[in-house]
Structure 1
Amino acid sequence: MEVGVDWDQCEANGVCAGIAPDVFELNDDDELIIADGPVPADREDDVRDAVAQCPKAALFAKE
């Protein structure tokens, strides 16, 4: 699984970073950073949860 973001929708609310901080983080300028590469198998459920809870529906998972 990989995760992507619609940068036009993302407001960097940080909900995703709270759910899966090893995959999502906000930098010092409050910009979203997504870890490179595929999501580790043991983190997929949390990433799906982060995608579902994004307030702007800016995140998407690619299986």
Structure 2
Amino acid sequence: MRIEADRDRCEGLGMCEAMAPDFFEVGDDGRVVVHEEHPDEEHRQDLTAAVDACPVLALKLRD
């Protein structure tokens, strides 16, 4: 699994960080920072919730 983040689309609303703070952070530039691009499968549920919570659809999970 791989996390993809479209930093150009990101508006820094922080929903991903609220849902999965171990994996996402709103950086100093107001855009998402992905801490672990290839997370373990055991985190899929939390990451799916975080991706689905993004109101501007800036995040994707790829297999």
TM-score bracket for this pair, using the shorter chain length: 0.7 to 0.9
C-alpha deviation, 1:40, in angstroms: 2.0
Which segment is superposed worse, 29-38 or 1-10?
Answer: 29-38
4+ residue segments displaced more than 4 Å: none
**RMSD, aligned α-carbons:** 1.4
Tell me which residue corresponds to 1:39: 39
Identity %: 33
User: How many residues are paired up?
Assistant: 63
C-alpha deviation, 1:15, in angstroms: 0.1
Alignment of 1:1-63 (within 5 A): 1-63=1-63
Provide TM-score, normalisation by structure 2.
Answer: 0.84
Which runs of 5 or more residues in structure 1 are unaligned?
none
Which runs of 5 or more residues in structure 2 are unaligned?
none
Provide TM-score, normalisation by structure 1.
Answer: 0.84
